[in-house]
Amino acid sequence: MISIIDYKMGNTRSVFNAFKLLGENVEITNEKDRLTRAEAIVLPGVGSFNDGMKDLNQNGLKEFLTEEIIDRKKPYLGICLGLEFLAKRSYEGGVCDGFGWIDSEIVKLQPSEKQNKVPHMGWNDTEIIKEHGLMKDFTEAVFYYLHSFHMKINNSEKEVITSKCNYGGIGIVSSIQKNNIYAVQFHPEKSQENGLKLLKNFLEDIRK
């Protein structure tokens, strides 16, 4: 069973439908006993980092996820906010602590090219840095993005970056992989065939 965390931050049903198209058993839940039994945990989300983290903390899910993902090594896929939560902190609406699993910070997008607006919304070419795991076997890596903040990874963990994109002169971390932790800034559930392929790659990689 693939468990998608329900925490009131958006696109869980679209992610659910994408996994269903792949023929997977999938559920949307915030019940810890169900998440404990899951083969993998998926944390999607759109909106405010602070609001999302507040909801996770109120439900005791931040500490729970650290136990499941870091201590028990359960596969994790973060989508958009689910990637941003991995950072030590975010500067969206003030300083807010994240999970701290990746040595990084979440900072506001500030494109140097004026024609590029914030939020970054729409399709973008994505440069594959490491062709394995999530980013395996793409002939044209184009994905759908929707975000106003992005992950700035410190030098100590640059090796976790598996793809990037350029938006207005800024190099955006598009995807990362660190052991059992997988995450993307873009939205595979909105990225049509490429998005389904990425989810399939995730499942194949955790099952090999």
Please identify every residue annotated as catalytic.
Answer: 80, 187, 189
Helix (H, G, I), strand (E, B) or coil at 51: helix
Residues 134 and 184 sit within 8 Å (Cβ to Cβ): yes
Number of other residues whose CB lies within 10 A of the CB of residue 114: 7
Taking each helix axis from N to C terminus, what angle separates 192-207 and 12-21, rounded to the nearest 10 degrees? 70
Closest CA to 172 of 134, 126, 105: 126
Residue 108 pairs with which residues in a beta bridge?
A: 149
Backbone angles phi, psi at 3, to 5 degrees: -105, 125
